[in-house]
Amino acid sequence: MNAIGSTPKIMNKEQIELLQDMFAKVEPRAQEAGDLFYGRLFQMDPSLRPLFTGDLKVQARMLITAIGLAIQGLDHPAVVQLQIAAIGQRHINYGAMPTDFNTFGAALLWAMEQTLGEEFTDPVKKAWAEAFQLIVKGMKSATA
């Protein structure tokens, strides 16, 4: 198993730039994207709802902000992976299970598709899926 800091870069420069461009379009709709995410997450797995005790509107904005930071940091995956591992550990401490991170990734991908609409093309979907794969892998590393 690789150390977090030695995670290979699986995204190419074009994908990173595409994600950064697409996130710039999501960011003004951050609240909507975050709300869509939580709605879909709880639809996919209602047992996750009790893990979120705070104001979901605030958590939705924080989620999109964290994703934005991760997207901006894709050029430096070792740093991003360390930050994501810390987030994963916090969620484990809240009661999340490693398999819940897969549901998280699926709900997030769906929320991005809903937010971007027609701009969610196949290359965009592939780039988001790879970015979320990195995020989920980093969050799961907190449980290893």
Average pLDDT per 10 consecutive residues for the chain, totaling 144 residues: 40 90 95 96 94 90 88 78 75 75 89 96 92 77 68
Predicted local confidence at residue 90, as pLDDT: 76
Tokens representing residue 128 in the block: 């988001």
Calculate the alpha carbon distances from 67 to 26, 105, 131, 144 in Å: 11, 12, 10, 22
> Which of 84, 87, 62 minimizes the C-alpha distance to 131?
84
- What are the angstrom distances between the C-alpha of 52 and each of 10, 31, 38, 46, 60? 31, 17, 10, 11, 11
Q: 97: phi > 0 → left, psi -120 to 50 → alpha, else beta; which? A: beta
- What is the pLDDT at residue 1? 33
Query: What pLDDT shows up at residue 130?
Result: 86
The residue extents of the domains of the chain are 14-141
Residue 75: the pLDDT is 78
Two tokens, residue 115: 């937010």
Task: Report the predicted TM-score, pTM, of the whole model to 2 decimal places.
Answer: 0.81
**In this structure, are residues 119 and 25 in contact, taking their beta carbons and an 8 Å threshold?**
yes
* CATH fold for the domain made of 14-141: Globin-like (1.10.490)
